[in-house]
Structure 1
Amino acid sequence: MKNLKLSPGICMTMILTLAFLFSGQAHAQTKEETTPPQTIEELKTAIEKVLKETETPAVGVALVNKEGPVWIAGLGKANVEKDVDANENTMFRIGSVSKMYVALAVLKLQEEGRLSLQDKVRDLAPEIEFTNRWEDTNPILVEHLLEHTTGWSDLHLTEFAHSDPTPVTLKEGLDFHPHSRTSRWIPGTRMAYCNSGPPVAAYIVGKITGQPFEEYVQSTFFDPMKMENMTYFASEAYKTLGASLYNNGKTVDYWHILMRPAGSINASPRDMAKMLEFFIHRGMVDSVQLISHASLKRMETTLTTTGAQAGLEIGYGLHNYSMPHKSFVYRGHDGGVDGGLTTFSYLPEHGAGHAIMINSGSRDALNRITKLVRDFQTRDFQAKEISTDSELSDGHTAISGFYRSINPRMQIFYFLERIMNVQRIWHKEDTLFRNGLPGGESIKYLPAEGHRFKSAKTGLVSMVQATDPLAGEVIHAGDLVLKRISMVQAYGPLILGALWLFLMLTSILYGLVWPIRWRRGKIKGKANIRVRLWPLLASLFILAIILMMLIWGNSLKLLGTVSFVSLVVMISTIGFAMASVWSVFLIITERSAPMKRRVYWHSAILSFLHLIVAGYLLWFGVIGIRLWA
């Protein structure tokens, strides 16, 4: 969903990601600058090539401009096993693009005077459980739900894992596991994508209108827009026309999302073309203004974060965010469910847009097709010339340094994100640069007025200095909120992590040899065995977690419920902590025992690194973690 983009990589292969990070081996996509397709036929051929190269079964495409549909099609196989071709009526799962209708419904009620974006959620729905310790001074407002600025963590894994084919009511979905709805910082200051905000807003819409949210959207938007099959449910039309879903070449089951407004819509390319026309014509459908131009403009504007208040011009509006492409800035939303990805984008100034839907979890395929479509769509548009009237002053260059993200999407994985999202900012001549550690593509900025920086590609203010009421001076760069740290804090975890992984690997490899040497009498004395064994056991517990994530890391059902996988992860974290403590105890007590010094120091360094990592994981609540809780 922005994807439930946490795509079942929500599961973020915990330790694997850490290993990837510490290794410093970021595998960047190879960029091929080619001439963009000039005709629909060339575009079709290029897309079919991507489908073949990425083994993506099918794609649904809708291209629209001010005059109407330019191209609506389905390519590839909607069902590989039954050899069913995709076409313009094939239904795909659009995931978090569904959230756009939550914002539209709220804006519609605001236009009718029945609701306001500034209304307090507690007043509108006191029966919905959430925790905000700043409620008296900084209550959660409706617009916070839509801009993801409540401060709530994203859904817990048990909510993602829920997939009951019998539809539950929205209230039942919200009551299922409300513990994730706790504000971690003052609402309306930082953005963190959260799939529970939209359902709360949808619940309020249903409460005000006296209709189930899905019925209200059907009568207020789907019917006037003449959507033929668009639906929140696994309808009869979907059972007939729906594309089968695939991950890594294997079919995946239909995901019955617990809170449907967050990401449950199924739609065809033909339906998506009508949705594009709605936004391109600024809310007008058949001479009827369903939503005002002013409401759509608000939907496309970020207002509630401290970054937006400091002048940030890109970011997440009301379930509608900016998507830069060269000098152009599309608006729209992405979506993702298990086995399906979507992007919905339009250029308000140029009256053009597209929807791309695939029945696969291949992010590479979607990105490549999206680039082809956007290159084709913008081929005749005049690119903006980017310049700046401001010089790079001492005030601008003073922000150079290292920064850590302080607005994690899922609190459960912040122990990784605070290392993964370390950013470096530096300047050269009149340009400022930002990239992540340990490397990667740099984003370029030009100085603007005050403490603002324009994207060198789009010319829009894309990074600003701001004051966070809790963290003090921060940087807002797109969706990131960054707090300055020292070079030691930036590189220290990388260096320690790399050393830890190396010593763990060698301990496991040595562990294959030691039993043989012991049986041959080459290793003597209990101390010799103990000093080797316990650090090795700690390493094996980490290996067990890695294997669980490698094999079952994409299974939300196994991670978000009490299962063999989630139990092994829980037990392994506890075992790792206990083995780490005991290893250090033995290293200290057996320091004078006769053994090769290189063996002792290898085990000693590894044991202390294990203990440091165990302490870090304990601090962040990872030791004994119950992924289903």
Structure 2
Amino acid sequence: MKGLAPLWAFTLLVPTLALAQPGPATAAELRQSLTALLAEHDIPGASYAVFDRRGTVLSGVIGLADSGTRAPVTDGTLFRLGSVTKTVTAIAIMQLIEQGHFGLQTPVSELLPDAPIRNPFGDSDPVRVIHLLTHTAGFDDMHAKAFFSPVERRGRHLESSLQHPEPLAVRWRPGMHESYSNPGYVLLGAILEAHDQKPWDEVVSARVLGPLGITQVAALASQAAQRDHASGHSGADMHRTPVFFEQTQADGALWCTAEDLARLGRFVLTDGASAPGVLRPETVRAMKQARSTLGAQAGLAYGAGLGLHPRIVRATLWQGHAGGVLGAKASMHFHAEQGMGYVLLVNSENELRKLEEPLADFISHQTQWKPPAPTLRPLTGDGNGWYRLVNPRISMLGLPTYLLSVGRAKAQADTLTIEPVLPGFGYQATLKHHGKGLLADVDYGEVVNGVLVRSGDGATEGLETGGDYLQRTSMAAAVFPLMSVLVSFTLLLSTPFGRRTSLRNRWVRRLPSLALLSLVLGIICAANLELTLLAHRNWQTVGLWAASVLFPALGVAGLVLSVRTWRQEPAAVARWRCLLGSASVVCLSTWLATFGLFSFALWRW
């Protein structure tokens, strides 16, 4: 019997272990978990807070603010917030809307007549304020030359848009799809400055930060440098990253402490009740709702709100905003049903999501909240077919997105599976059907983050999932572009091979071979690019530009020469190989030119 005692004890313990929730349950366990994750991901320091509707539940700091000076993180250490700043900008805009100065549907051109927006749909579908708030204007994201400024700028958001108008080209009808765009929030900053006739930081300090009681804050890098602040870090060696001057502030310039940022999270969580008079409760509730996109119109609740973004952590849907800049990351999120939220600030770009998980676990332990069990429904076969992603965040990645982000969807029972053309490359997802076309990506648990988009007659015309919009297409349109590129690459790679004496005019082979060499050199230059190098002339950007010019030029020259010398070349295999090689270069160059990558100068992009 003594030998069976451990077995009996284990048997009695199994149900307890099965029912126990994972993750930290106490403040000490939370700190221990975060400390271990910081070490695992080579992050010098962090500041965190947990809040509920009544106030801050706990807060803490871990590690170093600066790995060089060994200065520790303190309760007053300012961290960079990045795009969490957008929530502050959005609240200020919503105040103006409440006051009747304009509305969500007001065209931006009425508020900023000089804004350099290029909208081919402008006559029927102008870019409106709601499109800027929800990232649905169709703009590109920030281009390389607008990342940093050689001198510190304060305000002047419209001036920045006029100096860097390239991203403000509308790519689809405003409101159709979401595509995260910092330049849209630059325009919102310009609207605030035009109305209040003050720099953006003065506007939000008076309208938002002050009334919320947020005092440990800075809007400029020079201001933060004079106070206790966290230096940025990157990489496994935790090397320091320089703080570059931002071109603008409204889209991501704020610095703050975790405990003060929790005041912002609590304000949104409580529908404004924590700071009466800033916004009406119905306005804050409206900020939390997904807006505008085809998916939202089809009943999808997952999506960008007005200055807020969804985030799935531990298979649970949270609202708030995250931010990431060179050397720092930030997260401010809350869960309305649990009535709690968290703030996490780190001074490294290495990792953020993994560190959010113990915070979410801790909150779940406090609330004992359980998500409702889903009811899965069988799917009809009308969702079967081929789909292509049509709303990339950055237009520069349009070509690889067009070629690779395609997949074939197949419904079976309650599951819709999307498989790419090339296994392991392209769009891949497994979605569970929760009824009414609503879908949950199994990689994120049971959170509904997708929907089938149907036309007026009920036919499936697209699929929105996690902010991506997949438009239905034909098999030929999905497969042919990628196959043409793969075949062209294969033919081009075979061109340099063969007997040297088989051709009378050796330039027939040399020209496509030189084109191949220029392509390889271009790839090497691109592989050695870094964020801080993109907007400048250097060997990487100049080499990439040279390759984008030489590659098509050598291809066209090779094709012309092959045709002209066709009858003079006796070796059929050699002349066919060289002709197809040059034709392949022309084919690949056509794809590059179609997506604006011919004579591609990053310092002008």
Q: What TM-score bracket applies, with the shorter chain setting the length?
A: 0.7 to 0.9
Q: 1 CA distance for matches of 2:303 and 2:272?
A: 21
Q: 1 CA distance for matches of 2:282 and 2:397?
A: 38
For residue 3 of structure 2, what is the aligned residue in structure 1?
none
Q: Is the 1:60–1:73 Cα contact (8 Å) retained in structure 2? A: yes
Cα distance, 1:622 vs. partner? 0.8
Question: How high is the TM-score relative to the length of structure 1?
Answer: 0.83
Q: Is the 2:377–2:414 Cα contact (8 Å) retained in structure 1? A: no
For residue 16 of structure 2, what is the aligned residue in structure 1?
none
Q: 1 CA distance for matches of 2:283 and 2:420?
A: 36
Is 1:378 aligned to residue 364 of structure 2? yes
Q: 2 CA distance for matches of 1:95 and 1:388?
A: 38
* Aligned AA (2:541): S
Question: How high is the TM-score relative to the length of structure 2?
Answer: 0.86
For residue 305 of structure 2, what is the aligned residue in structure 1?
317
Cα distance, 1:98 vs. partner? 0.7
Of residues 118, 124, 144, the one that matches 1:137 is: 124
Of residues 19, 30, 37, the one that matches 1:50 is: 37
Superposed structure 1 runs of 4+ greater than 6 Å apart: 502-508, 599-602
Cα distance, 1:624 vs. partner? 0.6
Q: 1 CA distance for matches of 2:123 and 2:246?
A: 33
Q: 2 CA distance for matches of 1:163 and 1:297?
A: 40
Cα distance, 1:196 vs. partner? 1.4
Matches within 5 A, 1:490-501: 490-498=478-486
Q: Is the 1:132–1:182 Cα contact (8 Å) retained in structure 2? A: yes
Is 1:348 aligned to residue 348 of structure 2? no
Give 3-state SS (helix, strand or coil) of 1:149's partner.
Answer: coil
* Aligned AA (1:319): G
Cα distance, 1:376 vs. partner? 3.1
Is 1:549 aligned to residue 535 of structure 2? no
Q: 2 CA distance for matches of 1:271 and 1:550?
A: 40
Cα distance, 1:478 vs. partner? 3.1
Cα distance change, pair 309–551 in 1 and its aligned pair in 2 (3 A): same
Cα distance, 1:548 vs. partner? 1.9
* Aligned AA (1:178): P
For residue 387 of structure 1, what is the aligned residue in structure 2?
374
Q: 1 CA distance for matches of 2:55 and 2:37?
A: 26
Cα distance, 1:491 vs. partner? 4.0
For residue 223 of structure 1, what is the aligned residue in structure 2?
210
For residue 408 of structure 1, what is the aligned residue in structure 2?
392
1:577-626 Cα shifts (integer Å, max 9, x gaps): 112223344555368757795x7776565444332211111122211112
Give 3-state SS (helix, strand or coil) of 2:48's partner.
Answer: strand
Cα distance, 1:295 vs. partner? 1.2
For residue 100 of structure 1, what is the aligned residue in structure 2?
87
The answer to which of 522-531 and 156-165 deviates more is 522-531
Q: 1 CA distance for matches of 2:212 and 2:148?
A: 33
Cα distance, 1:381 vs. partner? 3.4
Unpaired runs of 5+ residues, structure 2, are: 1-20
Q: 1 CA distance for matches of 2:567 and 2:356?
A: 60
Q: 1 CA distance for matches of 2:106 and 2:183?
A: 18
Is 1:280 aligned to residue 269 of structure 2? yes
Q: Is the 1:37–1:375 Cα contact (8 Å) retained in structure 2? A: yes
Cα distance change, pair 605–85 in 1 and its aligned pair in 2 (3 A): farther
* Residues matched between the structures, number: 573
Of residues 466, 478, 481, the one that matches 2:469 is: 481
Unpaired runs of 5+ residues, structure 1, are: 1-33, 515-521
The answer to which of 74-83 and 454-463 deviates more is 454-463
For residue 28 of structure 1, what is the aligned residue in structure 2?
none
Give 3-state SS (helix, strand or coil) of 1:223's partner.
Answer: helix
The answer to which of 235-244 and 256-265 deviates more is 235-244
For residue 353 of structure 2, what is the aligned residue in structure 1?
367
Sequence identity percentage: 25
Cα distance change, pair 460–367 in 1 and its aligned pair in 2 (3 A): closer
Matches within 5 A, 1:81-120: 81-120=68-107
Q: 1 CA distance for matches of 2:567 and 2:281?
A: 75
Q: Is the 1:465–1:474 Cα contact (8 Å) retained in structure 2? A: yes
* Aligned AA (2:363): Q
Cα distance, 1:447 vs. partner? 4.6
Q: 1 CA distance for matches of 2:303 and 2:382?
A: 24
* Aligned AA (1:615): T
For residue 243 of structure 1, what is the aligned residue in structure 2?
230
Cα distance, 1:212 vs. partner? 2.5
Cα distance change, pair 127–600 in 1 and its aligned pair in 2 (3 A): closer
Of residues 551, 567, 582, the one that matches 2:557 is: 582
Q: 1 CA distance for matches of 2:36 and 2:138?
A: 42
Q: 1 CA distance for matches of 2:36 and 2:569?
A: 65
* Aligned AA (2:467): D
Give 3-state SS (helix, strand or coil) of 2:217's partner.
Answer: coil
For residue 124 of structure 1, what is the aligned residue in structure 2?
111
Between structure 1 and structure 2, the one with the greater Rg is: 2
RMSD: 3.1
Q: Is the 2:135–2:178 Cα contact (8 Å) retained in structure 1? A: yes
Q: Is the 2:90–2:307 Cα contact (8 Å) retained in structure 1? A: yes
